[in-house]
Amino acid sequence: MDQPQIATMKIAEAARYLGISRQTAYDLANQGKLPGARRLGRRFVVSRKALEKYLEGGDTAEVR
């Protein structure tokens, strides 16, 4: 049986996915400029769906 894909990723995973440094990803997340990034307590999670939609040129405002 196939396992479902996890809906979120860590900032470091998002940075590797985008080809940017971890620090740049954190800076963008703190500025509210990393698509799909949400703060949960003291850490960030990034929505895979929102990030992929952004990279495809779509509007991430519709993805929740």
Residue 2 belongs to some domain of the structure = no
Query: What whole-number distance in Å separates Cα of residue 31 and Cα of residue 8?
Result: 19
**Prediction pTM value:** 0.80
Query: What whole-number distance in Å separates Cα of residue 39 and Cα of residue 26?
Result: 11
Residue 3 belongs to some domain of the structure = no
Mean model confidence pLDDT for the chain: 90
3-7, 24-28, 47-51, 53-57: range with lowest mean pLDDT: 3-7
How many domains, the chain?
A: 1
Residue 36 belongs to some domain of the structure = yes
Residue 58 belongs to some domain of the structure = yes
Write out pLDDT tens, residues 20-36.
999 999 999 999 999 99
Domain encompassing residue 32 = 8-62
Looking at residue 39, what DSSP letter applies? Answer: E
Residue 20 belongs to some domain of the structure = yes
Query: What whole-number distance in Å separates Cα of residue 7 and Cα of residue 40?
Result: 14
